[in-house]
């Protein structure tokens, strides 16, 4: 079982390299993250974007541009579309967002004629976090793509988190469906959805995991809190995956940990497309982007 991000890199070094295609890769963070991934031996990288800007960044950062395949395109939106085309043409295994806006990136992925969305698929954002105060890695969703997931979307989110956990070597991940309380309150939709998803897992409709819900965050991550509240659950205090009720709660959880917790590490991808898509913030660190490439390579 993988317990930290360095172990992901170590495992990938022993496997055939994946092919990364970075869309509008004209900024130093994207190019340096791609460089590190190439140097780690986990990917071959294609940079799509304004070639003059790419070479300028390489010169400033003392990066040899010959380690990349550069596909020139001076228009941001057309560069993003071209990157998606390369994935569809079988020239890449992983898509990565460069300096382009999330709106343009997702628009290209969701394009009905040229995008990466299979029929009836649901896209969802999966984040893996290593938080020093918690005893294992956490896999959470959805912080960035689905604003207010309904029951069907929450089931899809659950399955994506479980698939990611399996890729990390967790055979039977423990999934907590988060609500404001662990009590079953019929008037709170998050509680209803949590109870339904939990029962679906009990009956094998969601497989390869143990699910409990509704669960409040404190009992999810603290066995002491669960004991105080007299909650008996194998998931309580030992969850691997957290399914949040909406984008606000998931996003606030993510940013609270990245901003207030020292030495937290994270990686993020969009699951459900024809290929894993790295969707990190333009403000994310080079390390986060490297780990996101590694997570995408592990799940590709």
- CATH number of the domain bearing residue 179: 3.40.718.10
- Does 267 reside within a domain? no
* 129 and 251 part of one domain: yes
The answer to whether residue 134 scores a pLDDT higher than 80 is yes
* 92 and 138 part of one domain: no
* 136 and 233 part of one domain: yes
- Does 171 reside within a domain? yes
Neighbours of 31 (CB within 10 A): 27
DSSP conformation class of 16: P
What's the rounded Cα separation, in Å, for the pair 41 and 191?
Answer: 45
Range of the domain at 11: 5-120+273-299
* 47 and 84 part of one domain: yes
Instruction: Give the model's confidence band at 175: pLDDT under 50 very low, under 70 low, under 90 confident, else very high.
Output: very high
Whole-number mean pLDDT of the chain? 96
- Does 142 reside within a domain? yes
Q: What is the pLDDT of residues 178-229, one digit of tens each?
A: 999 999 999 999 999 999 999 999 999 999 999 999 999 999 999 999 999 9
What is the domain-level CATH number for residue 65?
A: 3.40.50.10950
Bridge partner residues of 69 (DSSP): 46
Instruction: Give the model's confidence band at 283: pLDDT under 50 very low, under 70 low, under 90 confident, else very high.
Output: confident
The answer to whether residue 284 scores a pLDDT higher than 90 is no
* 128 and 188 part of one domain: yes
Count of domains observed in the chain: 2
Instruction: Give the model's confidence band at 5: pLDDT under 50 very low, under 70 low, under 90 confident, else very high.
Output: very high
Cis upstream peptide for 69 (omega within 30°): no
Q: What is the pLDDT of residues 90-124, one digit of tens each?
A: 999 999 999 999 899 999 999 999 999 999 999 99
Global pTM value: 0.94
Give whole-number Cα distances, 106 to 28, 125, 145, 273, 295, in Å.
Answer: 22, 12, 9, 11, 19
């Amino acid at each position: 079982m993988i317990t930290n991000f360095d172990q992901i890199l170590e495992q990938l070094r022993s496997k055939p390299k994946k092919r990364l295609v970075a869309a509008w890769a004209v900024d130093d963070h994207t190019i340096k993250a791609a460089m590190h991934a190439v140097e780690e031996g986990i990917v071959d990288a294609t940079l799509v974007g304004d070639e003059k800007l790419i070479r300028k960044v390489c010169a400033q950062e003392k990066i040899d541009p010959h380690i990349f395949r550069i596909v020139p395109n001076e228009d941001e939106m057309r560069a993003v579309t071209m990157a998606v085309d390369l994935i569809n043409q079988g020239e890449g295994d992983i898509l990565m967002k460069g300096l382009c806006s999330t709106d343009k990136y997702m628009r290209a992925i969701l394009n009905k004629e040229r995008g990466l969305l299979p029929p009836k698929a649901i896209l969802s954002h999966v984040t893996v976090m290593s938080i020093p105060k918690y005893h294992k890695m956490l896999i959470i969703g959805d912080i960035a793509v689905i604003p207010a997931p309904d029951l069907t979307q929450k089931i899809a989110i659950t399955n994506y988190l479980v698939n990611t956990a399996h890729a990390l070597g967790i055979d039977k991940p423990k999934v907590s469906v988060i609500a404001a309380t662990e009590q079953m309150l019929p008037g709170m939709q998050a509680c209803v959805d949590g109870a339904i998803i939990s029962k679906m897992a009990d009956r094998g409709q969601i497989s390869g995991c143990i699910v409990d819900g509704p669960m409040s965050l404190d009992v999810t991550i603290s066995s002491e809190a669960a004991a105080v509240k007299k909650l008996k659950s194998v998931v309580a205090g030992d969850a691997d995956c957290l399914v949040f009720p909406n984008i606000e709660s998931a996003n606030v959880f993510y940013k609270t940990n990245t901003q207030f917790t020292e030495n937290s590490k994270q990686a993020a991808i969009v699951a459900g497309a024809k290929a894993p898509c790295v969707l990190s913030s333009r403000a994310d660190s080079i390390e986060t982007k490297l780990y996101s490439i590694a997570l995408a390579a592990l799940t590709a």
